[in-house]
Amino acid sequence: MHSIGFILGGTLLAAVGLQTSGAAAAVNAAKVDFAKEIQPILEKSCVECHGPQKAKSSLRVDLKADALKGGDTGALLVAGDASKSLLIQVVEGTHAEISRMPKKRDPLTPEQIALLRKWIEQGADWPDAAATEDARLKHWAFKAPTRPELPAAKNQRWVRNPVDAFILAKLDGEKLTPSPEADRTSLLRRLSLDLIGLPPTPQEVEAFLASHPRLDLDVRRKVLQSLDALRRAVKVRSRTWPAATAPGSAASPAREPAAGA
The reply to whether 226 sits near ligand HEC by the rule CB under 6 A is no
Report yes or no: 46 and 101 within 8 Å, Cβ to Cβ: yes
**In Å, how far are 51, 61, 152, 203, 256 from 45, measured between CA atoms?**
11, 10, 33, 58, 57
Site string for ligand HEC, 19-48 (x = CB under 6 A): --------------------------xx-x
C-beta of residue 187 within 8 angstroms of C-beta of residue 218: no
User: Minimum Å distance from CB 113 to ligand HEC?
Assistant: 9
3-state secondary structure 138-195: HCHHHCCCCCCCCCCCCCHHHCCCHHHHHHHHHHHHCCCCCCCCCCHHHHHHHHHHHH
Residues 53-92 interacting with ligand HEC (rule: CB under 6 A): 56-57, 59, 70-73, 76, 86-87, 90-91
CB-wise, 45 or 226, nearer to ligand HEC?
45
Task: State which residue, 97 or 216, has the beta carbon closest to ligand HEC.
Answer: 97
Does 104 help bind ligand HEC (rule: CB under 6 A)? yes
When asked if residue 111 is in the footprint of ligand HEC (CB under 6 A), the reply is no
Interface residues toward ligand HEC, by CB under 6 A:
45-46, 48-50, 56-57, 59, 70-73, 76, 86-87, 90-91, 98-99, 101-105, 108
